């Protein structure tokens, strides 16, 4: 096509696709081009704006490493990661939420009732619940991969003073699908904002904060892997998560417990004399 115009360029693009193109590739690319072209026409994108966007992408490429993926972060703050989660969600099961860049593979096993705090001696939080299917049946032996920030707001991979497995643990639910552990109360923290994503947030007048949360990947054969996060109900950023991860069913409540009531069956049993808080949270998995 030699008479390409601002009006026909999307059709020309589609016409250039090969006849044998995989139908799904055709559908996705055609729609992507249509939205990109519509967007460009709608805002009358200038050369300077187009160049700036490409420079930001280049910068993202330069700083992306296995430990820090600026493109994933861009997807997160644009709401794309959460939207992909939501359009692929199943009804009546626990919502999924962003994985984030700080998961560590091969976390050390954490026994039921184990303590995640290790070197940090903060307030004790007891987290307990069951893994079930949507009919309410227990899922025995489900795997629960747990991670969170230390009280300083840093994940282990961001903090040279922490062991890489600090605040990471891999638990196996018991025959009733029960899991339980103790940890410290998670804190709100900021996503990395010293790169292009920070520049975009700044330009948009947005803050980089996430409400305090615990991360989980819950898995069991025959069920869909659940990648999710659970958020503190009283966190000031609960309604303004910069990566759009909060869902109604992912809110946990810390219920204060009186001194002297810490239960048996935990690594810390007999060691917690003062107040502590308790969270009850069940995970509902979809069948594969």
Question: Whole-number minimum distance, CB 188 to Fe ion, in Å?
Answer: 10
Residue 179 interaction partner, one of ligand BEZ, Fe ion, none, beta carbon < 5-8 Å per kind: none
Instruction: Name which of 136, 132, 115 is nearest 124 in CA terms.
Output: 115
**Which of 100, 129, 177, 186 forms a contact with ligand BEZ (CB under 6 A)?**
100
Number of H helices, E strands in the chain: 6, 13
Binding window for ligand BEZ (CB under 6 A); candidates: 15-23, 51-59, 97-105, 250-258: 97-105
Tell me the two tokens of residue 64: 């992306």
Instruction: Name which of 208, 253, 75, 217 is nearest 142 in CA terms.
Output: 217
CA–CA dist 230, 103 (Å, integer):
15
**Which of 33, 101, 171, 244 forms a contact with ligand BEZ (CB under 6 A)?**
101
Residue 115 interaction partner, one of Fe ion, ligand BEZ, none, beta carbon < 5-8 Å per kind: none
Instruction: Give the angle 61-44-197 at the CA atoms, nearest 5°.
Output: 25
Q: Does 100 bind Fe ion (CB under 5 A)?
A: yes
Task: Please state the separation of Cα 180 from the chain's center in Å.
Answer: 21
**Which of 93, 98, 142, 146 forms a contact with ligand BEZ (CB under 6 A)?**
98
**Which of 243, 246, 272, 285 forms a contact with ligand BEZ (CB under 6 A)?**
243
For 255: left if phi > 0, alpha if psi spans -120 to 50, otherwise beta; the answer is beta
Tell me the two tokens of residue 146: 């747990």
Residue 73 interaction partner, one of ligand BEZ, Fe ion, none, beta carbon < 5-8 Å per kind: ligand BEZ
**Which of 33, 73, 74, 110 forms a contact with ligand BEZ (CB under 6 A)?**
73
| Helical (H) or strand (E) element with 133 | strand 124-133
- Segment 171 to 230, residues that bind ligand BEZ, using CB under 6 A: 191, 210
Question: Whole-number minimum distance, CB 168 to ligand BEZ, in Å?
Answer: 12
Judged by CB under 6 A, the number of residues near ligand BEZ is: 9
The C-alpha R_g of the chain, in whole angstroms, comes to 23
Note whether 147 and 103 are within 8 A (CB): yes
> What residues line the site for Fe ion (CB under 5 A)?
100
> What residues line the site for ligand BEZ (CB under 6 A)?
73, 76, 98, 100-102, 191, 210, 243
């Amino acid at each position: 096509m030699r008479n390409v115009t601002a009006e026909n360029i999307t059709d020309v693009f589609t016409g250039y696709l090969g006849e044998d193109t995989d139908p799904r590739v055709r559908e996705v690319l055609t729609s992507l081009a249509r939205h990109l072209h519509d967007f460009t026409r709608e805002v009358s994108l200038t050369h300077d704006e187009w160049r700036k966007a490409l420079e930001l992408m280049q910068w993202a490429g330069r700083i992306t490493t296995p430990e820090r993926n600026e493109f994933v972060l861009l997807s997160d703050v644009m709401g794309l990661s959460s939207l992909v989660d939501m359009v692929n969600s199943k009804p009546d099961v626990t919502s999924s939420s962003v994985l984030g860049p700080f998961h560590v593979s091969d976390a050390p096993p954490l026994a039921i009732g184990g303590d995640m705090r290790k070197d940090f001696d903060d307030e004790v939080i007891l987290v307990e619940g069951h893994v079930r299917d949507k009919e309410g049946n227990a899922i025995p032996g489900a795997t629960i991969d747990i991670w969170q920030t230390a009280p300083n707001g840093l994940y282990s991979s961001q903090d040279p003073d922490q062991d890489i497995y600090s605040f990471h643990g891999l638990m196996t639910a018991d025959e009733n699908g029960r899991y339980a552990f103790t940890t410290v109360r998670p804190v709100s923290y900021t996503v990395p904002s010293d790169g292009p994503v920070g520049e975009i947030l700044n330009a948009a007048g947005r803050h980089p904060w996430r409400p305090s949360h615990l991360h989980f990947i819950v898995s069991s054969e025959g069920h869909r892997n659940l990648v999710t996060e659970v958020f503190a109900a009283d966190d000031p950023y609960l309604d303004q998560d910069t990566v759009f991860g909060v869902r109604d069913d992912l809110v946990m409540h810390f219920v204060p417990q009186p001194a002297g009531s810490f239960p048996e069956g935990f690594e810390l049993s007999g060691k917690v004399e003062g107040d502590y808080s308790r969270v009850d949270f069940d995970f509902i998995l979809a069948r594969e």
